[in-house]
Structure 1
Amino acid sequence: MSDDTTFKALVVEETSDGEFKKSIQQRNIIDLPENDLLIEVHYSSLNFKDAMSASGNKRITKQYPHTPGIDAAGVVVSDKSGTFKAGQEVVVFGYDLGMDTDGGLSQMISIPADWAVECPSSLTLKEAMIYGTGGLTAALSIQKLEKMGAKPSDGPVAVTGATGGVGSISIAILSQLGYDVIAFSGKPEQSDYLKELGASEVRHRDTINEVGDKPVGRELWANAIDTIGGNYLANLLKQTKAGGAVTSCGLAGGAEFSMTVMPFITRAVSLLGIDSVYIPLADKKAIWQRVATDMKLPNLESYGEEITLEQTPEYLDRFMASKTVGRYVVNVRG
């Protein structure tokens, strides 16, 4: 662990003309908020929410200057609460990290102790961030489908936003657990990549909407994981087999959707919400243990591209331009 009082961080600043500028700056530990747990961050990851924060989205981050980063993995420097010991490896997902509290795209963070969980011994800090919030959300989605009775013999699972962080890890974990996966993406040029992840079939995402205004369509998949929202979510529900379920965790395609109640009352289809931010700490620890055991992917490093802290401004812009594929892990000390 470092004894330095200064550290590097990505800082987003609002300019006088309302623009938002991203730069890597030297900061001082005394500038961090007063919290119990001080962590030396080794790895973070990039998520769409980070890109929205970095672009000045006031629904995500209200006050600037600000350091985004909803994920962090590192080593405890000190903990006034006594929950963790110095030198212990921990991971942080969700809560207010990277939103209105300076986040993981920084070499140091100061947070409440109950935001962190111990990093499982079967995962390195880098591997933990290859999963990140995207992988955690994927695991929570799959677990919720399982709690509703989903099993591989029921039929295929549809996954939207397949090349994104949640979608790509969902495909890989589902495939590992024995499920047949239909991947939906607006990037048909990534079909080979999606099949390498484990998708048995790749379709353009717009084919979901071919059902049109019909209250229900043909039963095409047993269950689904939706990361887009909007009409894609509505039309996934219309084409889910009787007794199946669809999880919802994203809104890139819109926060609103319109449909009838017919899939719910004629086919007993269920719509399941996924929250990876404010779930109880005990539940977060439990799903994280699954990620480190039966949901742990082989050759994990192949699922994420490693970048440096200095590269994060460019990659965050790529998110906003829909030019990203898979997971991006940030070596903040590289």
Structure 2
Amino acid sequence: MSAIINNIEIVKTESSKINEVDFDNLKFGSVFSDHMLVCDYKNGKWEAPKIMPYQPITLDPSAKIFHYGQSVFEGMKAYKDINDKVWLFRPLDNWKRLNISSKRLAIPELPEDYFMEGLKALLELDKDWIPTNDGSSLYIRPFVFASGEGFHASPADEYKFIICTAPSGSYFSGDVKVLIEQTYSRSANGGVGFAKAGGNYAGQFYPTQLAVKKGYQQVIWTDDNNHEYIEEAGAMNIFVRINDTLITGPTSDRILDGITRKSIIEIAESQNIPVEVRKLSVKEVVEAAENGTLKEMFGAGTAAVVSPISGFGYNGVDYDLPKFDDTYASYFKKRITDIQTNKSEDPFGWRFKVE
């Protein structure tokens, strides 16, 4: 069945998979909804988006994504409240950041209406896939990659923009123990660390595997120069609480301008929680752990929202963080998720109703 809505061609699946899904036991990003949005860039312009049944895509072996890595993505979530209304969280920030990432990788920027109208149409079509269990959501993955062909080392002349969605449970559970990295770097000055480029994540996998073999779950990335300053936690921004002050590093060529990160900073400032955006040295964190002033460390990102860190390793020594109630991590996670799921007021104007 085919229809045209807001200049978007919609082809519905003939047979939904939704009845095959156990919504009470969802792994993160492993079950995919019935439909996806696809938009092609050809002859110097983006063509009209289309929505079609979720399916494999076919590419020529010479497609430049395979050879030169032109690929960027975003991570978002859709939520359904008790009145069956669908909500997004700061979606225009995702569209803006997708284009910032695209520009850095010489990928054509995407018009706002293609992103927003396409996303709204896709969510309206697959709204029954949005889970309502606590901690669950519909994870949304917009991405762009080079589909143009050729072995010449140059930007492609054709690209694909796709949005896929996946009903998902919580991203992390249990304690997360991290290793402060002293050898490998996630990114460098003048590089693409600030972009959500696929290659950034590929480069993290090997050092993270080494950390896992040592008994840790993730890596704390440090600067590429002397490994002196704390920068990110795995694929997330990082916050450190020393006494009652919340500290996070400034964004740069190396650090992603995380949407959850920005939200935590704004909430903290609105509640008069001391927050500092500055360089944070490994030495300062270790000294705080040794003298008892290090209260919390946590990662912040779309998938997990907030992921508490239970301890860290550095120079062969493990440091455990204290356990107590009323943590900043639990406070920020609840504030953000309550806004996202329409359980509380939204004084910041972050919540976006899909209609």
For the superposition of Structure 1 and Structure 2, which TM-score range results when normalised by the shorter chain? 0.3 to 0.5
Relative to the length of structure 1, the TM-score reads 0.33
Report the structure, 1 or 2, having the larger helix content: 1
Report the structure, 1 or 2, having the larger strand content: 2
